Amino acid sequence: MKSFIDILQRAEHLADFLPRKAVKRPYKIVDSVWIKGDLSLRKTYNKTLKNSEILVFPYPIFKIWIAFVLQKLKCKKTNTDFKKILGFGLSWNFLKKEYVPLKANIIYYRKRAIVMVYTTEKKVIKVALTISGQQDMKNNTGVKVLNKIRKTFFTL
């Protein structure tokens, strides 16, 4: 974990987002996404999550809920995870916190790369963690993913 945080800190230093003596900030962990958790859910939602792909509130389409309930009544395994269709808004206060000296508002962790989103600076930093992640960036695959995330969060 320490080496993971060191990589992210170096990326922020290179982008001039992080001072030399950084303060540890709380991040709430939702699956493989870290969300800055120093504000209430409402303020965090309005500042960072409103236009994101992360499901905060319960899934609004009733078909998904009906299919989930019917599969559970028939005692079948469902492909839909209950936590995902419920959203994490109801469990915001109970989510695990990790205190790290970073400044990003949202950190997406993928096996090959990490994407750090800064909403106040309107910037996105992507860090390749593996050799295949570096290849993705060279092959433009990473740029396509980055552009999707950028369009999700910021209107250019």
Q: Helix or strand or coil: residue 70? A: helix
Both tokens assigned to 63: 């078909």
Contact indicator for 98, 33 with CB cutoff of 8 Å: no
Is residue 154 predicted with pLDDT exceeding 60? no
**Long-range pairs for 34-43 at CB < 8 Å and ≥24 separation?**
34/98, 34/104, 34/106, 34/107, 34/109, 35/105, 35/106, 36/104, 36/105, 36/106, 37/95, 37/97, 41/89, 41/92, 41/93
Is residue 149 predicted with pLDDT exceeding 70? no
Which has the higher per-residue pLDDT, 18 or 139? 139
Bridge partner residues of 106 (DSSP):
35, 117
pLDDT tens by residue, 36-49 = 988 888 888 888 88
In this prediction, residue 141 carries a pLDDT of: 54
- Determine the structural domain holding residue 42 and report its residue range: 2-153
This prediction has a pTM of 0.70
> Could you give the number of structural domains in the chain?
1
Both tokens assigned to 147: 């552009």
In this prediction, residue 57 carries a pLDDT of: 83
Distances (CA, A) of 52 to 56, 78, 111, 119, 121: 9, 25, 20, 11, 16
Q: What is the mean pLDDT of the chain?
A: 77
Q: Helix or strand or coil: residue 140? A: coil
